[in-house]
Amino acid sequence: MKDLADLHIHTTASDGAWTPAKVVHAAAQIGLGAVGITDHDTVDGLDEAIEAGRATG
């Protein structure tokens, strides 16, 4: 179901429970085509999320 997305997810880079990589991998496992990581006041998890996305496809 690549036409679904979750556009509001926090990661451990701010106040979320999962790392950016875990968010990306979990989203792929349930069939999401995209995620919007919306961490508070930081982009610290961006590189990790991008790398996970590339690895996931």
Q: How far apart are CA 4 and CA 47, in angstroms?
A: 23
Residue 44 lies in a domain: no
Residue 16 lies in a domain: yes
Residue 38 lies in a domain: no
Residue 11 lies in a domain: yes
Domain coverage including residue 16: 1-31
Averaged pLDDT for residues 36-41: 98
Q: Which residue has the higher pLDDT, 54 or 1?
A: 54
Averaged pLDDT for residues 41-46: 97
Residue 6 lies in a domain: yes
Residue 57 lies in a domain: no
Q: What's the pLDDT at 1? A: 58
Cα 10-11-14 angle, rounded to 5 deg = 85
